[in-house]
């Protein structure tokens, strides 16, 4: 093969040999040189097998950013404007170096490789060290700003968007599935396509027609958002007007799905957190409220509709009592507990109508090779069905309201003329579906049926918009 993967730590003693190996390859194929820490192991093979690129990699496990790129001038002197340099480094700097020092090294790198195209990997999230994620998020935001300043010559490889299941059990390194996804992302970047993919399994669902970015989340409406719950929590956890909610069992097991995210971010609720028989409430200091709907006794069981309805009613009552404004929730009970989408849609519509809250239903493509999720629906079908069911509930509300208005108009006095009734189209606009990502129209045509229409967003709330803008900038 044409790729040369070097993993020896003594970089200087091998540099001449490695450079000569690259120069001896006289093929006219575009070149890709990979400079990486341990995240780059075996990546060159995967890229070369899938592309026409001539790939050469220099891997230094345990090295910091400066060590990885210290001989970049000599290594890349043969590259041209048709070639690419990929740098995957910085993970080993997070604990030891400041953000400013790392950014200084990045600027030096950019100045040294202006003769070619630079692909700069963002830092993947540390699934083994959650406490480092805020610093990683800040570093990645700085990398995004740098990329915008050098538009055209510096592009980002967004490794921070890879989900948890694409990493090893330990949580630091990508597993084979993650490496395969990274290889595809590299290929797309090398083809000069801007890659904004969260994960392979989520690409098709982000092609929904008319999908708006997350910054278009509409206030006082029901919004379906395709995103990771942990990102939403990070964006809104310090907002005292926001509540997060999900469903759990009485044993507080919280070992699968979105419950794991809630357990990690907020810890398990305590028995003292019960505010009603089927509802617990936790509160961050000067921050958001966290609700857990206790819908079943054991984590491996299923809720009864009576317990589910009771929990939803108690959520609505306490939400109003606490004078909260925004609810960010999972599609509670619909992924693992086999609650019908129609029933959830009816419950969440009644909640929004009764409270006037802004509602964000957070969905993401959760892999589960051993268990059937969403009652067998694919993620894209689940999103489409959820949108249809909520639209149906809103349409029924509009029809009922219009009928009541018509019946009462015959006998109403002049004061009744002051009342207004929303039309069906106006009420339908209260349901908006959003996503962080968009893909090509070809993906759209293959993944969605013609009847799926997404309403445009309007009347954006400034407070909510500013927070979602912050989240978008972080991503």
**DSSP string computed for 325-356:** -EEEE--TTTSSS---HHHHHHHHHHHHHHH-
**Helix or strand or coil: residue 208?**
coil
| Cβ-count burial 90-105 (b if 16+ within 10 Å, e if not) | bbbbbeebeeeebbeb
Residues of the chain with CATH 3.40.50.1110: 5-195
Across 110-124, 137-151, 191-205, 206-220, the highest mean pLDDT is recorded for 110-124
Characterize the bridge pairing of strands 154-157 and 117-121.
parallel
Task: Enumerate the H helices of 410-437 as residue ranges.
Answer: 424-428
Residues of the chain with CATH 3.40.220.10: 204-474
Residue 96 to residue 99: CA distance in whole angstroms: 10
Instruction: Tell me what the mean pLDDT of segment 179-191 comes to.
Output: 85
Over the stretch 194-215, which tens digit does the pLDDT of each residue have? Answer: 333 333 333 333 333 333 334 4
Q: How far is CA 101 from CA 68, 93, 94, in A?
A: 15, 9, 11
Instruction: Tell me the CATH number for domain 204-474.
Output: 3.40.220.10
| Run of H or E residues at 272 | none
What predicted TM-score, i.e. pTM, was given to this entire model?
A: 0.47
Residues of the chain by 3-state class (helix, strand, coil), percent to 5? 45, 15, 40
Report which of 208, 200, 198 is spatially closest to residue 444, judged by C-alpha positions: 208
pLDDT category at 370 given cuts 50, 70, 90 is low
pLDDT at site 242: 94
Residue 35 · residue 88 · CB < 8 Å: yes
Q: How many CB atoms lie within 10 A of CB 379?
A: 20
Instruction: Tell me what the mean pLDDT of segment 294-306 comes to.
Output: 92
* Residue 186: alpha-carbon gap to chain centroid: 19
Domain range 5-195, CATH class: alpha beta
Residue 291 to residue 315: CA distance in whole angstroms: 8
Residue 181 to residue 159: CA distance in whole angstroms: 9
pLDDT at site 118: 93
Instruction: Tell me what the mean pLDDT of segment 284-289 comes to.
Output: 90
Q: Is the pLDDT of residue 352 over 90?
A: yes
Residue 314 to residue 349: CA distance in whole angstroms: 15
pLDDT at site 60: 92
Strands (E), 215-365: 222-226, 242-249, 274-276, 279-283, 289-296, 326-329, 358-363
pLDDT at site 194: 31
Q: How many CB atoms lie within 10 A of CB 26?
A: 6
**Helix or strand or coil: residue 283?**
strand
pLDDT category at 408 given cuts 50, 70, 90 is low
Across 126-140, 156-170, 311-325, 353-367, the highest mean pLDDT is recorded for 311-325
> What percentage of residues in the chain have a pLDDT greater than 90?
35
Report which of 64, 3, 73 is spatially closest to residue 36, judged by C-alpha positions: 64
pLDDT at site 30: 87
Instruction: Tell me what the mean pLDDT of segment 354-382 comes to.
Output: 82
Across 107-111, 188-192, 401-405, 438-442, the highest mean pLDDT is recorded for 107-111
> What percentage of residues in the chain have a pLDDT greater than 70?
71
């Amino acid at each position: 093969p044409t790729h040369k993967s070097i993993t020896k730590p003594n970089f200087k003693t091998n540099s001449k040999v490695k450079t000569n190996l690259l120069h001896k390859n006289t093929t006219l194929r575009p070149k890709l040189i990979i400079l990486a820490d341990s995240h780059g192991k075996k990546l060159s093979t995967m890229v070369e097998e899938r592309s026409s690129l001539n790939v050469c990699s220099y891997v230094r496990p345990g090295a910091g950013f400066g060590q990885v790129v210290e001989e970049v001038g000599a290594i890349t002197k043969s590259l041209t404007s048709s070639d690419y340099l990929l740098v995957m480094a910085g993970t080993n700097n997070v604990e030891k170096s400041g953000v400013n020092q790392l950014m200084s090294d990045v600027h030096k790198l950019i100045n040294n490789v202006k003769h070619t195209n630079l692909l700069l990997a963002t830092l993947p999230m540390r699934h083994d060290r959650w406490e480092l994620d805020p610093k990683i998020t800040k570093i990645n935001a700085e990398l995004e700003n740098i990329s915008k300043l050098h538009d055209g010559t510096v592009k980002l490889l967004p490794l921070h968007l890879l989900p948890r299941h694409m990493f090893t059990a330990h949580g630091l390194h990508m597993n084979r599935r993650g490496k395969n996804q990274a290889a595809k992302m590299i290929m797309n970047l090398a083809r000069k396509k801007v890659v904004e993919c969260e994960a392979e399994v989520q690409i098709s669902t982000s092609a929904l027609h008319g999908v708006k970015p997350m910054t278009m989340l509409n206030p006082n409406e029901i919004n379906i958002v395709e995103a990771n719950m942990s990102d939403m929590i990070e964006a809104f956890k310090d907002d005292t007007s926001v509540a997060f909610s999900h469903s759990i069992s009485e044993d507080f097991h919280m070992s699968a799905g979105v419950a794991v995210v809630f357990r990690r971010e907020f810890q398990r609720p305590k028995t003292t957190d019960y505010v009603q028989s089927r509802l617990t409430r936790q509160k961050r200091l000067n921050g958001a409220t966290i609700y857990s709907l206790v819908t079943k006794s054991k984590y491996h069981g299923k809720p009864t509709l009576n317990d589910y309805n009771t929990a939803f009613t108690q959520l609505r009552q306490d939400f109003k009592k606490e004078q909260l404004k925004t609810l960010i929730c999972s599609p509670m009970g619909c992924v693992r507990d086999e609650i019908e989408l129609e029933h959830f849609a009816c419950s969440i519509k009644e909640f929004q109508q009764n409270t006037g809250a802004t509602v964000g239903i957070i969905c993401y493509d959760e892999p589960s090779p051993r268990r059937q999720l969403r009652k067998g629906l694919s993620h894209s079908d689940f999103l489409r069905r959820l949108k249809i069911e909520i639209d149906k509930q809103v349409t029924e509300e509009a029809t009922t309201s219009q009928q009541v208005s018509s019946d009462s108009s015959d006998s109403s006095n002049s004061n009744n003329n002051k009342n207004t009734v929303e039309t069906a189209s106006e009420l339908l606009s209260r349901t908006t579906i959003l996503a962080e990502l968009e893909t090509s129209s070809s993906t759209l045509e293959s993944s969605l049926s013609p009847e799926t229409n997404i309403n445009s967003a309007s009347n954006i709330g400034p407070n909510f918009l500013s927070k979602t803008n912050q989240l978008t900038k972080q991503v």
